[in-house]
């Protein structure tokens, strides 16, 4: 099987995890390097991965696919803005699944989605474009994770729940089955969500309750 040529967009901490997921993926990737405005010397040193330049270097990557290596620690439009900016310069967006993740053959993953080591995605789940299902996260049956949402390490999403576009579910959080998390909502680390969460809301605690802050 011919390996897919791949370029990483971003070179920071999250990018290093994405790079190793690509190297450990079931589908073969030939990871060419990364683009980033910053030198990101630790990434080059630790992974032996060359910095190809800033975003403009993507134009010289020919038939290579791209994957987003820009992470977030909360909800927001940073990753969306990067995709909008560099999208015209790439051939397309690769879906990366670590070889130690479990993805049901009846689940669906969108372009640019990344599934990290130890994650589980069950039957009928739909994961949108540029989502992150991080290390050890569980996305149960028939869950919908909309574009650009991030399910952090160790979080669990119960069956039939829906995670809105650009939402963030924090480390070790639990979302009850059939609950809806609104677009760009923020679920704090360790929160237990037992009811719907409005768009742009912040919730935390056990059971999770709104903090009164709203994201913009």
List Cα–Cα distances, 206 to 74, 163, 193, 202, in angstroms. Answer: 19, 19, 8, 14
141 is catalytic: yes
Which residues constitute the domain of residue 31? 4-94
CATH of the domain at 41: 3.40.50.20
Q: How many CB atoms lie within 10 A of CB 126?
A: 17
Q: Indicate the average pLDDT of the chain.
A: 94
pLDDT exceeds cutoff 80 at 17: yes
115 in the same domain as 84 = no
179 in the same domain as 102 = yes
* Strand-pair category, 201-204 with 209-214: antiparallel
Cα distance between residue 196 and residue 114, in whole Å = 26
102 in the same domain as 82 = no
Domain membership of residue 216 (yes or no) is: no
Catalytic residue, chosen from 14, 98, 130, 141, is: 141
103 in the same domain as 48 = no
Domain edge (last residue) among 94, 128, 152? 94
**Total number of domains in the chain:** 2
pLDDT for res 1:
64
Domain membership of residue 31 (yes or no) is: yes
Q: How many CB atoms lie within 10 A of CB 40?
A: 20
Residues 77-86: tens digit of each pLDDT: 899 999 999 9
User: Residue 12 in contact with residue 71, Cβ under 8 Å?
Assistant: yes
Residues 82-112: tens digit of each pLDDT: 999 998 989 999 999 999 999 999 999 999 9
């Amino acid at each position: 099987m011919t390996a897919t040529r791949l370029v990483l967009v971003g070179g920071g901490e999250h990018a290093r995890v994405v790079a190793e997921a690509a190297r450990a993926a079931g589908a073969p990737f030939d990871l060419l390097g990364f683009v980033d405005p910053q030198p990101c010397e630790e990434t080059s040193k630790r992974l032996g991965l060359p910095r190809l330049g800033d975003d403009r270097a993507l134009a010289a990557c020919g038939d290579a696919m791209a994957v987003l290596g820009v992470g977030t620690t909360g909800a927001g439009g940073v990753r969306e803005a990067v995709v909008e900016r560099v999208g015209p310069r790439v051939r397309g967006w690769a879906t990366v699944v670590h070889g130690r993740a479990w993805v049901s053959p009846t689940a669906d993953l969108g372009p640019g989605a990344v599934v990290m080591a130890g994650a589980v995605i069950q039957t009928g789940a739909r994961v949108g474009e540029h989502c992150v299902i991080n290390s050890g996260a569980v996305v149960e049956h028939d869950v919908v994770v909309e574009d650009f949402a991030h399910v952090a390490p160790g979080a669990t999403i119960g069956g039939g729940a829906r995670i809105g576009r650009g939402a963030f579910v924090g480390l070790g959080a639990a979302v009850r089955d059939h609950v809806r998390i609104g677009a760009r909502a923020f679920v704090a680390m360790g929160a237990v969500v037992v009811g719907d969460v409005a768009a742009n809301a912040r919730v935390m605690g056990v059971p999770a309750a709104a903090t009164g802050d709203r994201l913009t």
